C-alpha cells in the first residue's frame, strides 16, 4: 500500500519530516544563543519551531509531544518577554529540552516507546524554570488535544424539540469593516431551522447624508429550530462585540406573530417581499436597503418540499448515459430509415414514441443540473462593493432575475467573467462623481446585473449608466497598438468590438482594480468556452451594456447539419439567421477569393466554408451553392457557403482536447447517427479567423 | 490508471511490436489500452499532417495520429487494412495508426542497445532503444516524444 | 467556487488545511508566511483568507494589517488560526483586523464551517 492511499499517513509523514527541519533550526538557534551569536530574530525562530511542532502534534493527538512542547514554548515565551534571562544554565536546559523533544518526535515517528521517564527529568526542569516566571498548573491549559479525523459526515443526532427564537441584531460599523456579512450569518441560521428575516431600515439616511461603511440597518429574525442556545450563539461568535444582539425564546403561541410594529415614521421592508421586483441597494456600503437579497432559503409558511442530496458525479454520469442514449436512438432511427420502412409502419411509430421519451428524459436530467443564478449574483454584490470602495465611486448595485436557472457547470464558469465585467463597469464604465454631477447625473452610479430566459437561451447583462464607450479613444488605442490600420473607417459596433481583441488592454493601462493584464478578450474567451457569446451596446453619455447569451446547458446543442467537402459538420442553430440557395445573378466577385452576394437588397460577404477550413481549394463557381446567413456581433452578416444543408437536430456535445482539434472555429464535436464524429463549428470565430470583415467593410458597402 | 512508458526503463518488459510501412517498431504493452480496426477519422481543420483527425471510441472522441507521418516517412494513403492502437500517455488516450500489429514479445534486458547518436535518421528522435529479433531490427518508440504535449495543432 | 488563501509556515498545517478545504469543494491556495501571502494576493482575489499568527518574515498581525491596507482586499474575511481560545487573543486578532478565528487543533468540520460562515 502506498502512503498516498491514506491521507492521514501522508500527513504524518509530512509532519515528521517538517519536525526534523524545525528541530534542526531550533537547535542551531539555541547553539547560536549559547555562543553569544544570537540576534533578535534567533529566539523567535526557536519559539516558532517549537510552536509549530506543538500545533502539528495536537492534530495527531500526540499528547506527550504536546505537553512537552507546551512547557518548552512557555519557557521560550518567557525569554521573549524578559521574564526569564538567557543565562548559560537556562540555555543549556533549553538545549536539553530540544534533544528531549527530538527523542519524543522520533519515538512517535517510529512507533517505538521511549524508555519510561526518559524525558521526565527535562520536563520537570522546564516546569521548574517556567514556574519561576509564572506558575502553570495545567500543562496544556487552553490547548485541547483534538484528534484530527477526516470524517466530515458524522451522523446527525436525532432532532430534539423545536423552539422559536426571536433574535434582534443591529451591526456596528466595525462588523462590516472586519469583513463580516450579515447575509452569511442569516444563511447559517437558516441551516439550523426555519428563518424569517425582517429588516428595519428606519435608520437609513438620505443619500447625501450616507456615510460609506456605516451600518444603518438592523434585523429582527425569527428562528424556529431544534438547535440549542449554544449553537445559535455560535453563529454569532465572530461578530460578538461588533453588534447589538439579543436572543430570546419566544413562547410557542407567539411563534408566528408578526414582528412588532416599527415606531411611527419608520419604514419596514419585509424579507418576504415578492422576488419579482428589482432588488436595489446602495453599494460602497453594506447592503442596507435590500433585505430581499438577504433572504435565506427559509419560509415557515410554505410546506417544505422533500429533497434528496445527490453527488454531482452521479448526475454527470446519468447525463452522459442519457447523451449516449440520444446518440444510440439517432443511430437506430437512421438504420431503420435505411431499411426503407415507411413512417407509418408500426416500427417507425414506436420509434417516434421512443424518441419523444428520450428527449423528455434528457430534459429531465438537464433540469436536475440546473440551478438558480441567485448565489452567483449575491457573490457579485461584494465585488461591486469592493470596486466602489477602491475607486471612490459610489454605486447603486441592483440585480434582476436571480431565479433564472442555468446548468450548474455554467454557474461556476461564469463567476470570473462576471466579476471582471462588474469591476470594469465600476472602474471604466462609471464616471467619477464630479463628472457625473457636471453631466446632471446623480453622484451615485447605477450598475445593474440581470438575467432572463430569451428564446431557449439565458441572457445575462451588466449595465452601467456611465459615459458610454469613448469610441474615438478606443480607435486611437487600437491604431496605436497596431490592431487597426490608421485611417480605417469603422462603424460604431466595429469599434466597440475592438475591446475584445487580444492585446487591446495591457497590464500598464488596466487599473489594479480590474485585474492585472486581464482584458475583455479573456472575458470573451471564458464566455465562448461556455458556448456563449458576448455583445456590447453603448450610448454616449448614457452608459454601456455587456450582454452575454448562453445555452441552457453545456451538454446538448440544437445543431444544423451541413455537408462541406464530403465532411458532415454541425453549426449551432442560434447563429444562423436563414438559409439560401444562391443564383448566378446574386453573386459578384469583389476581388479574387473575395465574393459578395446581393440578397434582397442587402450585401453579404461570402465565405467558402470548405476552403476556410482547409478542406479543399476555393470553389470555382459559387452559383447554385447553398448558403447559411450568420449574424455577427453588431448586426453584420456573412453568408457561409456549404455543399448541402440537411436537417436540424439536437446533438450531444463532446469536448475536444486542446491542441487535438481545438482549432480556431471548432467549438466541439458530436457523434452522429452513423457513429461518425462530426465537428461542431463556431461560425463567428471562423469568420473572424478568415479575416472577412477586414476585407469587406460591410456597413459601407451598400 | 494505465502505466506510462518510462524512457530508459523499458527493458525486460513485454512489448507490443508492429509495422509502420515496412519497418518494425515496438513499445511497452502497458501503454496499450486496446487495438481496433480502422475507421475513417473526421479531419480537423488546420491540423498538422500527422494528425489524421478524430474517431468515435465508444462515445468519446479520440484523436488519431498517423505514425508513419509522425515519424517523417513519405506520404501514404491510410487504408481500411490499417490498425489503430489506442494508447494512454500522460493520462490522455490517443490512437496511433499503424500498418499492422505483429507480435507481443518479451525481450531480455541485454537484447536492447541504445540508439546510435543523432544520426541522419529522422526517426532517431522518437526511438529510445534498438533490438534485434530474428535477424530484424526493432525500434523501441518513446511514446512521450511521439505524442506531442499539445497535439501540435494550430492553437 | 469559493476561493481561499491559507497562510501558515507549517507545511503540515498547510497540507491539512488544503486537504480539508479542498475536500469540501473549496479552491485552496497556500502561502508559507505573510510576505508570501501578500505576493500570492497580487495574483489572487480569494473569498476568504486563513492565516497563522506566528510566522517568519511577516507575522499574522502584520499580514492582516497589510491585507486591510490594500483597497482590493479591505473587506475580505480573514480567519486567524490560533492555538489558544482566550478572549484576549480574540481581541488582539480583531484589533488587527481579523474577521474570525479558528482554534488549533481544529476538527475539519469546524474549519469548513468557519470558512462557510464568512463566505456564505
The band of A697, judged by pLDDT with boundaries at 50, 70 and 90, is: very low
pLDDT for the residue numbered A548: 93
Which comes out higher in pLDDT, residue A582 or A702?
A582
Minimal C-alpha gap between B117 and chain A (Å)? 31
Q: Do A512 and C105 touch (CB under 8 A)?
A: no
Helix (H, G, I), strand (E, B) or coil at A53: helix
CA A664 from chain center: how many Å? 26
pLDDT for the residue numbered A306: 60
pLDDT for the residue numbered A213: 63
Distance CA C22, CA C12 (A): 15
H or E stretch including B33? strand B32-37
Range scoring the smallest mean pLDDT among A17-31, A288-302, A619-633: A288-302
Q: Is C17 on the interface with A (CB under 8 A)?
A: no
Query: How many domains does chain C fold into?
Result: 1
Q: Answer yes or no: is B9 within a domain.
A: no
pLDDT for the residue numbered B84: 92
Supply the range of the domain harboring residue C13.
Answer: 3-119
Q: Answer yes or no: is B111 within a domain.
A: yes
By CB atoms closer than 10 A (0-12, 13-18, 19+), residue A419 is: buried
Distance CA B42, CA B44 (A): 7
Query: How many domains does chain B fold into?
Result: 1
CATH of the domain at B32: 2.40.50.180
Average pLDDT along chain A: 76
Sort out which chain C residues have CB atoms less than 8 A from A51's CB and list them. 54, 83
Sort out which chain A residues have CB atoms less than 8 A from B63's CB and list them. 657, 660-661
Average pLDDT along chain C: 85
Q: Do B149 and A659 touch (CB under 8 A)?
A: yes
Q: Is C53 on the interface with A (CB under 8 A)?
A: no
Minimal C-alpha gap between A14 and chain B (Å)? 25
Question: Residue A536 above 60 pLDDT?
Answer: yes
pLDDT for the residue numbered B9: 47
Minimal C-alpha gap between A316 and chain B (Å)? 15
**Domains (range + CATH), chain A:** 3-133 (1.20.120.160), 163-272 (3.30.70), 372-551 (3.30.565.10), 556-700 (2.40.50.180)
Sort out which chain C residues have CB atoms less than 8 A from A379's CB and list them. 47, 120
pLDDT for the residue numbered C103: 79
The pLDDT of A525-549, averaged and rounded, is: 87
Sort out which chain C residues have CB atoms less than 8 A from A386's CB and list them. 71-75
Cell, residue C55: 510566522
Question: Residue A581 above 90 pLDDT?
Answer: no
Q: Do B153 and A655 touch (CB under 8 A)?
A: no
Of A323, A394, A387, A328, residue with least CA distance to A554: A323
Residue corresponding to grid cell 508559507:
C32
Scanning B23-42 for CB atoms below 8 A from A yields: 40-42
Mutate to test the interface with A, among B59, B63, B150, B152 (most CBs of A within 10 A): B59
Minimal Cβ distance to A181: which of C43, C71, C120: C120
Interface partners of chain C (CB pairs < 8 Å, 3 or more) are: A
Minimal C-alpha gap between B113 and chain A (Å)? 33
Q: Do B63 and A614 touch (CB under 8 A)?
A: no
Mutate to test the interface with A, among B38, B40, B43, B45 (most CBs of A within 10 A): B45
The band of A115, judged by pLDDT with boundaries at 50, 70 and 90, is: low
Residue range A596-623, pLDDT digits in tens: 777 777 778 888 888 888 888 877 777 6
The band of A659, judged by pLDDT with boundaries at 50, 70 and 90, is: low
Kindly provide the residue ranges of all beta strands, DSSP E only, lying in A318-403, ordered along the sequence.
370-372, 395-400
User: Are A608 and A690 within 8 A, CB to CB?
Assistant: no
Mutate to test the interface with A, among B56, B89, B96 (most CBs of A within 10 A): B56
Q: Answer yes or no: is B23 within a domain.
A: yes
Q: Answer yes or no: is B6 within a domain.
A: no
Cα C59–C62–C66 angle (5° rounding)?
Answer: 130
Range scoring the smallest mean pLDDT among A298-302, A478-482, C64-68: A298-302
pLDDT for the residue numbered B86: 92
Minimal C-alpha gap between A487 and chain C (Å)? 38
Q: Do A178 and C94 touch (CB under 8 A)?
A: yes
Residue corresponding to grid cell 510501412:
B21
Q: Do B44 and A657 touch (CB under 8 A)?
A: no
Residue range A335-351, pLDDT digits in tens: 888 888 877 888 888 88
**Please, what sign has the CA dihedral across residues A250, A253, A256, A260?**
negative
pTM, whole model, 2 decimals?
Answer: 0.44
The pLDDT of A649-655, averaged and rounded, is: 78
The band of A421, judged by pLDDT with boundaries at 50, 70 and 90, is: very high
Supply the range of the domain harboring residue B125.
Answer: 14-146
Q: Is B52 on the interface with A (CB under 8 A)?
A: no
Range scoring the smallest mean pLDDT among A77-81, A204-208, A471-475: A204-208
Range scoring the smallest mean pLDDT among A500-509, A608-617, A639-648: A500-509
Minimal Cβ distance to A18: which of C11, C47, C76: C11
CATH of the domain at C113: 3.40.50.2300
Count contacts between A and B (CB, < 8 Å): 80
Q: Do A656 and B94 touch (CB under 8 A)?
A: no
The pLDDT of C9-36, averaged and rounded, is: 87
Amino acid at each position: 500500500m502506498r502512503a498516498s492511499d491514506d491521507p492521514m499517513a501522508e500527513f504524518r509523514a509530512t509532519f515528521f519530516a517538517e519536525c526534523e527541519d524545525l528541530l534542526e533550526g531550533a537547535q542551531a538557534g539555541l547553539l547560536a544563543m549559547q555562543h553569544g551569536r544570537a540576534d533578535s530574530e534567533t529566539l523567535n525562530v526557536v519559539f516558532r519551531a517549537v510552536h509549530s511542532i506543538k500545533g502539528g502534534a495536537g492534530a495527531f493527538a500526540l499528547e506527550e509531544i504536546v505537553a512537552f512542547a507546551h512547557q518548552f514554548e512557555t519557557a521560550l515565551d518567557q525569554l521573549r518577554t524578559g521574564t526569564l534571562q538567557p543565562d548559560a544554565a537556562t540555555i543549556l536546559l533549553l538545549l536539553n529540552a530540544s534533544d528531549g523533544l527530538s527523542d519524543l518526535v522520533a519515538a512517535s515517528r517510529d512507533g517505538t516507546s521511549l524508555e519510561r521517564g526518559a524525558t521526565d527529568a527535562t520536563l520537570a526542569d522546564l516546569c521548574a524554570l517556567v514556574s519561576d516566571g509564572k506558575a502553570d498548573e495545567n500543562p496544556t491549559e487552553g490547548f485541547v488535544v483534538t484528534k484530527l479525523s477526516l470524517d466530515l459526515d458524522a451522523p446527525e443526532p436525532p432532532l430534539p424539540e423545536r423552539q422559536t427564537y426571536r433574535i434582534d441584531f443591529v451591526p456596528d460599523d466595525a462588523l462590516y469593516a472586519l469583513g463580516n456579512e450579515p447575509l452569511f450569518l442569516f444563511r447559517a441560521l437558516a441551516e439550523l431551522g426555519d428563518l424569517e428575516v425582517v429588516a428595519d431600515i428606519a435608520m437609513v439616511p438620505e443619500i447625501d447624508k450616507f456615510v460609506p461603511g456605516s451600518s444603518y440597518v438592523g434585523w429582527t429574525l425569527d428562528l424556529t429550530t431544534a438547535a440549542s442556545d449554544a449553537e445559535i450563539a455560535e453563529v454569532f461568535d465572530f461578530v460578538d462585540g461588533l453588534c447589538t444582539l439579543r436572543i430570546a425564546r419566544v413562547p410557542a403561541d407567539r411563534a408566528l406573530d408578526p414582528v412588532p410594529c416599527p415606531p411611527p415614521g419608520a419604514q419596514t421592508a419585509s424579507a418576504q417581499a415578492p422576488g419579482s421586483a428589482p432588488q436595489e441597494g446602495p453599494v460602497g456600503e453594506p447592503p442596507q436597503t435590500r433585505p430581499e437579497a438577504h433572504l435565506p432559503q427559509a419560509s415557515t409558511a410554505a410546506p417544505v418540499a422533500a429533497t434528496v442530496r445527490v453527488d454531482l458525479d452521479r448526475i454527470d454520469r446519468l447525463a452522459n448515459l442519457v447523451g449516449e442514449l440520444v446518440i444510440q436512438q439517432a443511430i437506430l432511427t437512421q438504420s431503420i430509415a435505411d431499411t426503407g420502412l415507411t413512417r407509418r409502419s408500426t416500427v417507425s411509430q414506436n420509434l417516434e414514441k421512443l424518441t419523444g421519451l428520450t428527449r423528455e428524459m434528457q430534459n429531465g436530467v438537464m433540469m436536475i443540473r440546473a440551478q438558480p443564478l441567485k448565489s452567483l449574483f449575491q457573490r457579485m454584490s461584494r465585488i461591486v462593493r469592493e470596486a466602489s470602495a477602491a475607486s471612490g465611486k459610489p454605486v447603486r448595485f441592483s440585480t434582476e432575475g436571480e431565479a433564472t436557472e442555468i446548468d450548474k457547470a455554467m454557474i461556476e464558469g461564469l463567476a470570473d467573467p462576471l466579476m471582471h465585467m462588474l469591476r470594469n463597469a465600476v472602474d471604466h464604465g462609471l464616471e467619477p462623481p464630479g463628472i457625473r454631477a457636471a453631466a446632471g447625473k446623480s453622484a451615485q452610479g447605477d450598475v445593474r446585473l440581470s438575467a432572463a430566459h430569451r428564446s431557449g437561451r439565458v441572457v445575462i447583462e451588466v449595465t452601467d449608466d456611465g459615459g458610454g464607450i469613448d469610441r474615438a479613444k478606443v480607435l486611437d488605442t487600437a491604431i496605436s497598438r497596431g490592431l487597426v490600420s490608421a485611417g480605417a473607417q469603422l462603424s460604431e459596433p466595429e469599434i466597440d468590438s475592438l475591446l475584445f481583441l487580444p492585446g487591446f488592454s495591457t497590464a500598464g493601462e488596466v487599473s489594479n482594480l480590474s485585474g492585472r493584464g486581464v482584458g475583455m478578450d479573456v472575458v470573451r474567451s471564458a464566455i465562448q468556452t461556455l458556448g456563449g457569446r458576448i455583445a456590447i451596446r453603448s450610448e454616449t453619455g448614457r452608459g454601456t451594456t455587456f450582454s452575454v447569451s448562453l445555452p441552457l446547458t453545456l451538454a446538448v446543442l440544437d445543431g444544423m447539419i451541413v455537408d462541406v467537402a464530403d465532411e458532415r459538420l454541425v453549426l449551432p442553430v442560434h447563429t444562423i439567421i436563414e438559409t439560401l440557395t444562391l443564383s448566378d445573378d446574386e453573386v459578384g466577385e469583389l476581388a479574387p477569393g473575395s465574393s459578395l452576394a446581393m440578397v434582397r437588397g442587402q450585401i453579404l460577404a461570402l465565405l467558402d466554408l470548405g476552403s476556410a477550413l482547409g478542406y479543399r481549394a476555393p470553389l470555382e463557381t459559387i452559383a447554385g451553392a447553398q448558403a447559411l446567413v450568420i449574424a455577427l456581433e453588431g448586426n453584420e452578416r456573412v453568408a457561409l457557403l456549404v455543399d448541402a444543408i440537411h436537417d436540424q437536430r439536437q446533438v450531444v456535445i463532446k469536448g475536444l482536447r486542446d491542441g487535438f482539434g481545438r482549432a480556431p472555429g471548432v467549438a466541439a464535436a458530436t457523434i452522429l447517427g452513423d457513429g461518425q464524429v462530426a465537428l461542431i463549428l463556431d461560425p463567428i470565430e471562423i469568420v473572424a479567423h478568415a479575416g472577412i470583415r477586414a476585407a469587406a467593410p460591410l456597413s459601407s458597402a451598400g | 490508471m494505465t502505466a506510462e512508458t518510462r524512457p530508459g526503463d523499458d527493458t525486460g518488459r513485454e512489448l507490443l511490436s508492429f509495422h509502420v510501412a515496412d519497418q518494425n517498431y515496438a513499445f511497452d504493452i502497458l501503454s496499450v489500452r486496446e487495438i481496433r480496426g480502422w475507421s475513417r477519422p473526421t479531419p480537423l481543420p488546420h491540423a498538422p499532417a500527422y494528425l489524421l483527425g478524430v474517431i468515435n471510441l465508444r462515445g468519446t472522441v479520440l484523436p488519431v495520429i498517423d505514425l508513419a507521418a509522425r515519424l517523417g516517412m513519405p506520404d501514404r494513403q491510410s487504408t481500411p487494412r490499417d490498425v489503430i492502437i489506442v494508447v494512454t500517455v500522460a493520462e490522455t488516450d490517443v490512437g496511433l495508426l499503424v500498418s499492422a500489429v505483429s507480435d507481443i514479445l518479451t525481450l531480455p534486458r541485454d537484447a536492447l542497445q541504445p540508439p546510435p547518436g543523432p544520426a541522419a535518421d529522422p526517426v532517431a528522435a522518437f526511438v529510445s532503444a534498438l533490438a534485434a529479433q530474428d535477424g530484424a531490427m526493432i525500434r523501441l518508440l518513446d511514446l512521450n516524444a511521439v505524442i506531442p504535449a499539445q497535439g501540435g495543432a494550430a492553437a | 467556487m469559493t476561493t481561499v488563501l491559507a497562510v501558515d509556515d507549517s507545511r503540515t498545517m498547510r497540507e491539512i488545511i488544503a486537504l480539508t478545504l479542498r475536500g469540501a469543494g473549496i479552491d485552496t491556495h497556500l502561502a508559507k508566511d505573510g510576505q508570501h501571502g501578500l505576493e500570492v494576493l497580487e495574483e489572487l482575489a480569494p473569498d476568504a483568507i486563513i492565516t497563522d499568527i506566528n510566522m517568519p518574515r511577516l507575522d499574522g498581525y502584520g499580514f492582516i494589517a497589510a491585507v486591510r491596507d490594500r483597497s482590493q482586499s479591505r473587506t475580505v474575511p480573514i480567519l486567524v488560526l490560533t492555538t489558544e481560545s482566550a478572549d484576549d487573543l480574540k481581541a488582539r486578532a480583531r484589533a488587527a483586523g481579523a474577521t474570525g478565528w479558528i482554534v488549533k487543533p481544529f476538527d475539519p468540520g469546524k474549519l469548513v464551517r468557519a470558512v462557510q460562515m464568512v463566505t456564505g
